[in-house]
Amino acid sequence: MADNSSSNAYWAANIRIITICLVIWAVVSYGFGILLRPLLSVIPVGGTDLGFWFAQQGSILVFIALIFYYAWYMNRIDREYGVDEQ
């Protein structure tokens, strides 16, 4: 019974971090790049405005950062629940 509880807690932690990462990525790519672009257009970044930067490069860079964060965090959770690869 304890094993099933541990397994459920592990998957709950996994789903929680996936949801958080997807929400961050959606806010950055869709929110900043499309919905909030007019508000961000007054902030200059590298010869263009911040809204355009998020639409073209910012969302990609945030996605890459989220991939590394997810891998680091999942390794930590794997060790915590004893399901790591080592």
User: What confidence tens digit (pLDDT) does each residue in 7-55 have?
Assistant: 899 999 999 999 999 999 999 888 888 888 888 888 888 888 888 888 8
Give yes or no for residue 3 having a pLDDT over 80.
no
57-71 burial, b for 16+ CB within 10 Å, e for fewer?
ebbeebeeebeeeee
pLDDT at 68: 97
pLDDT at 35: 87
pLDDT grade for 1, boundaries at 50, 70 and 90: very low
